[in-house]
Amino acid sequence: MIDYRLLLKNPQLTAALFVLALGLASIASAWGFQLIGGYIPCKLCLEQRLSYYAGLPIALLALIAAYWIGSGWLARLGLLLFALVMAHSLYLGTYQAGAEWGFWEGPTDCGATNAGATTSAADLLSQIKKIKIVSCTEASWRMFGLSFAGWNAAICAALVIAGLWGAAMPAPKNKTAE
């Protein structure tokens, strides 16, 4: 169990908990919209998720380093690596959101399908009718003016800032505070 008084004394612990909780909530929301809401992610959306898959284990290691191992420098390094990984998703989310708003051209090869592989020639026509191409340049959903990509960019910006903040703050001096 985490002693919550340590959050005030250990910025690496605070940052690691924050980025881990927000990152997990973000990727869980994306999965929820896909599995429950029926939204089909485009190729670029799936690529944005890769940063979460790589970054969240790094955030967990930073948390372990900050709390259980007591290594401030290792926690700071983990938070820095996390911020760098999430900066990639921030870039992709900003790029996609800008393309959705028409600020710049989006990718020309972006699309995904919800139909499986064809197993016979007789099923080919029916499967072609079921294919739905999802464009990376058309927002399928918006809330408060932001699409999925826009929300991802905003969340990633917060994650990058929190990771950099935790990495830049000095580690606690005594072992009991780490």
Q: What is the DSSP letter of 108?
A: S
Amino acid at 50: L
Residues of the chain scoring pLDDT < 50: 112-115, 176-178
DSSP E strand boundaries for the chain: 142-143, 146-147
Can you read off the two tokens belonging to residue 136? 């990376």
Predicted TM-score (pTM) of the model is: 0.74
Quote the pLDDT of residue 156: 95
Residues 137, 112: Cα–Cα separation, whole Å: 13
Quote the pLDDT of residue 176: 44
Can you read off the two tokens belonging to residue 68? 């259980």
pLDDT in tens, 155-166: 999 999 999 999
Can you read off the two tokens belonging to residue 48? 């944005």
CA of residue 59 relative to chain centroid, distance: 12
Q: Which domains does the chain have, with CATH numbers?
A: 9-102+127-168 (1.20.1550)
pLDDT in tens, 31-70: 887 777 777 777 778 888 899 999 999 999 999 888 777 7
Quote the pLDDT of residue 159: 96
Quote the pLDDT of residue 177: 42
Quote the pLDDT of residue 131: 55
Quote the pLDDT of residue 115: 47
